[in-house]
Structure 1
Amino acid sequence: MDYPSGAGTVPAVTDTPAPTDPAPAPARTGQPIAVWVLAFAAMVSFMGIGLVDPILKSIAANLDATPSEVSLLFTSYLLVTAIAMLITSFVSSRFGGRTTLMAGLVIIIVFTTLAGTSDSVAALVGWRAGWGLGNALFIATALAAIIAVARGGAEKAVTLYEAALGVGISVGPLVGALLGTVNWRAPFFGVAVLMGIALLAISLFLKDKVTVTHRIRPADPLRALGHGGLLVLGIAALLYNGGFFAVLAFTPFTLPYSAFGIGFLFFGWGVLLGLCAVWGAPWMHRRFGLTNAFIITLGVFTAILVALALTVDNHVAVTVLVIACGAPLGVLNTLFTESAMNVSPVPRPVASAGYNFVRFLGAAASPWICGKLGEEVGLSAPFWFGGACVIGGLLMIAVFGRRHLAAINARH
């Protein structure tokens, strides 16, 4: 939200000398503590995405599961997240942002704890689905909350949000690897503890400023997708996530590394993702314009996926390429989020819910499809699939999204 400058009114001219006005207070440039609390909580939430990466093979071994069965940990989590996105704005408009955030965290704490007690892959997949419900309530509201309380406008707020995403995604695999050396169940209990800390921080430091002034109905996110720009971005992000989760969910099965090896691999990937989300995306936007920034970065990601498919038996090449793809992914995450928040006239929580519903459908489908392709076709097949998805996203942007993105670019 924009804040007025610190300038006061000009005193009226009188016959007697006016007292000297005190110097105007300097504009506040730092962020309120509530922003950092929300960023920390978002970071912990995003840790859950990469947390299971280093222990996927351990889970498969301990629960006698195949790669495609283990990949359902991503699918159930993200499918429920996608569907639950449709009610997030309705819930937050009725109960307030703070209450919705805390409810999401409580649900995550309960289901991550239950996930740690699982004795079968089916039970673990089911508890991950419940985790996805809490995740939906939290992440959709967290973005709107950060935008509401941050100083410097929506663009700066989104940058903070994407920075939290990058840190969470990069640290998550390391936490998963570290705790996974104790037991494959330990990372789930670790997330429950971290979410408990985030819940305490929000209860203490976030005042209930995160309100939605519009009367929001459950069907409003679907109606919002009637706006061509939001729908195009949602479909493009759905396809992009096909490539994103080909890398995140299937790469561990192509490498002979231990949990620590996978953890450090995705730590490097996540660090590059976070850096490029914060600094790379604004530079690409300024340098090339929004549409061209999308097209260039989607093209680079496609090239990396093709290279992964061609070199999947070369462990050094796969390692380098996976880390390198963090750069285009960081740029794309920020470009997609900022564009979705600005492309339509609907309230941001509604736009976020509708957009996330569509894009998380792609995120839910990709891990299972990649697992089956890897089992039945070959190790390179998931990366060819991911590359084809990203090319589809590029075409959506280039053919159908250009006019909508040009309008955003003109306003900014």
Structure 2
Amino acid sequence: MSSNADSNGAPAPSGTHGHGAFSLSFFRQPLAVYAVAFACVIAFMGLGLVDPILPAISKQLHATPSQVELLFSSYNLVTGLAMVITGAVSSRIGFKPTLLTGLLIIVIFSALGGSSHSIAEIVWFRAGWGLGNALFIATALAVIVGVASGGTAGAIILYEAALGLGISVGPLLGGELGSISWRGPFYGVSTLMALAFILVSVLLKKVPRATRRSSVMEPFRALRHKGLLTMGITAFLYNFGFFTLLAYTPFVLNMDAHHLGYVFFGWGVALAVTSVFVAPSLRVRFGTRATLYGVLGLIALDLFVMGLGLSSIPLLVVCVIAAGALLGINNTVITTAVMDVSPFERPIASAAYSFVRFMGGAIAPWLSGKLAVWFNPHVPFYVGAFGVSLAVLTLIIGRRQLANV
């Protein structure tokens, strides 16, 4: 990447995965960094938090699986759309106001979700949650880097650790609270985010401002770059597999919220471990494209096996956890590739890529539920596997545009 600017002008980290830097600076951060990191953990919980309660919501609110899976669709759709405007917002009102606005929106809409009396209400409130999540997540990394002391390396690893912890703990907390009531996870997030709002308000003092004002149109113009567009389409197709697994699998596992929480906790732990500790090594050893070819091929195979072995619960559980390990590798490698493939600043490239990929995450959950009704329960997994296979084909076709990755 030709620019060394991070989100909206904050300096981008270089060599942030060095173990020496990690040991020196990981624990030497101001309280403000830990306050934002804590909020990141809660924000990243939102991805898998509702997973264990999907069947319970379906049963108690008399909703079909495709209707309940709209909780993911609305969340991803609004998150993707909002990603486009986050740079323009934060460069005008500042990083801290953007961060706090995102937190406040999550507090309000997660609480409203827990107070809902129909599936339509929850779907709309999850959409609002997605808006808050986009504003917060798109700004959090820039804030952590901007206020970090002792070098940025430790701060970036702290951010990655928060991401992994949130993704892994989300389903576990969702399962525990969901075993009491499906409303529990919504109220839990609202409470924790309110605490994060207070901590960030009090502890976050001086935050560097953006060096320039961003335009809403910049991410769309960036998509004219064939390499960045290739990565976006790849992620769009890959998300058909990702969110088929995440949104549809709870309905075929036939477990209560408590046990579903443990299954997807295993999925999240595997994802977190491989994203931080395995992906960088594979990328160095085999290269970005070869790693993506192999991992995406294995994800497609894993989904295909799930479609074939739908009657075996132990097989499905093993495949879910194995998918987590593969998804962790893919997420890290493909995100790194996005940052390297184009000459645009990191926030612009990230916003453009996120806009395209979240559209796949919006369509897949709803479609998987419909496919199960239109055909049979096996078909969603086959379609997910097909989508991931097309992602591999997209990378192969666009390989010339990825020569510098």
TM-score, normalised to structure 1's length?
0.88
Q: Is the 8 A contact 2:226 2:401 kept in 1?
A: no
Q: Is the 8 A contact 1:147 1:158 kept in 2?
A: yes
Q: What is the distance in 1 between the residues matched to 2:79 and 2:273?
A: 26
The C-alpha deviation readout for 1:210-239, integer Å capped at 9, x for no partner, is: 532132111111112122222111111111
Choose from 345, 348, 369 the match for 2:346. Answer: 348
Q: What is the distance in 2 between the residues matched to 1:67 and 1:2?
A: 42
In the alignment, residue 261 of structure 1 is paired with which amino acid?
H
Match of 1:205 in 2: 203
Q: What is the distance in 1 between the residues matched to 2:377 and 2:173?
A: 27
Q: What is the distance in 1 between the residues matched to 2:145 and 2:342?
A: 16
Deviation at 1:159, TM superposition (A): 5.0
Match of 2:331 in 1: 333
The C-alpha deviation readout for 1:41-79, integer Å capped at 9, x for no partner, is: 222111111111111111011111000000011111111
Deviation at 1:393, TM superposition (A): 1.2
In the alignment, residue 404 of structure 2 is paired with which amino acid?
A
RMSD: 2.2
Deviation at 1:345, TM superposition (A): 2.4
Q: What is the distance in 1 between the residues matched to 2:279 and 2:151?
A: 17
Choose from 280, 287, 290 the match for 1:289. Answer: 287
Q: Is the 8 A contact 1:158 1:337 kept in 2?
A: no
Structure 1 residues 43 and 64: alpha-carbon distance in aligned structure 2, compared to 1, 3 A threshold = same
In the alignment, residue 29 of structure 2 is paired with which amino acid?
P
The C-alpha deviation readout for 1:361-402, integer Å capped at 9, x for no partner, is: 000111000111122211111111111111111122222145
The C-alpha deviation readout for 1:181-232, integer Å capped at 9, x for no partner, is: 2211111010001111222222233344353213211111111212222211
Deviation at 1:150, TM superposition (A): 5.2
Match of 1:63 in 2: 61
Match of 1:191 in 2: 189
Gaps of 5+ in 1: 5-26
Q: Is the 8 A contact 2:105 2:131 kept in 1?
A: yes
Match of 2:29 in 1: 32
Q: Is the 8 A contact 1:84 1:136 kept in 2?
A: yes
Tell which deviates more after alignment, 361-370 or 42-51: 42-51
Q: Is the 8 A contact 2:25 2:155 kept in 1?
A: no
Match of 2:105 in 1: 107
Choose from 403, 407, 411 the match for 2:404. Answer: 407
Q: What is the distance in 1 between the residues matched to 2:349 and 2:143?
A: 14
Q: What is the distance in 2 between the residues matched to 1:319 and 1:388?
A: 21
Tell which deviates more after alignment, 162-171 or 118-127: 162-171
- Pairing 1:95–2:93 present: yes
Q: What is the distance in 1 between the residues matched to 2:226 and 2:151?
A: 25
Match of 2:20 in 1: none
Q: Kindly, what percent of the aligned residue pairs are identical? A: 49
Structure 1 residues 68 and 347: alpha-carbon distance in aligned structure 2, compared to 1, 3 A threshold = same
SS in 2 for 1:325: helix
Aligned length: 385
Moved over 4 A (4+): 1-4, 147-160
In the alignment, residue 42 of structure 2 is paired with which amino acid?
V
Q: Is the 8 A contact 2:102 2:136 kept in 1?
A: yes
Match of 1:279 in 2: 277
Q: What is the distance in 2 between the residues matched to 1:402 and 1:155?
A: 32
Within 5 Å, give how 1:165-244 maps onto structure 2: 165-244=163-242
SS in 1 for 2:250: helix
Choose from 299, 302, 324 the match for 2:300. Answer: 302
Match of 2:48 in 1: 50
Choose from 122, 125, 128 the match for 2:126. Answer: 128
In the alignment, residue 372 of structure 1 is paired with which amino acid?
K
Q: What is the distance in 1 between the residues matched to 2:73 and 2:55?
A: 17
Structure 1 residues 148 and 240: alpha-carbon distance in aligned structure 2, compared to 1, 3 A threshold = farther
Q: What is the distance in 2 between the residues matched to 1:3 and 1:54?
A: 36
Q: Is the 8 A contact 1:141 1:349 kept in 2?
A: no
Choose from 34, 39, 42 the match for 1:41. Answer: 39
Q: What is the distance in 2 between the residues matched to 1:58 and 1:395?
A: 38
Q: What is the distance in 1 between the residues matched to 2:391 and 2:317?
A: 25
Gaps of 5+ in 2: 1-10, 15-22
Tell which deviates more after alignment, 392-401 or 32-41: 32-41
Q: Which structure would you say has the larger Rg?
A: 1
Within 5 Å, give how 1:228-267 maps onto structure 2: 228-267=226-265
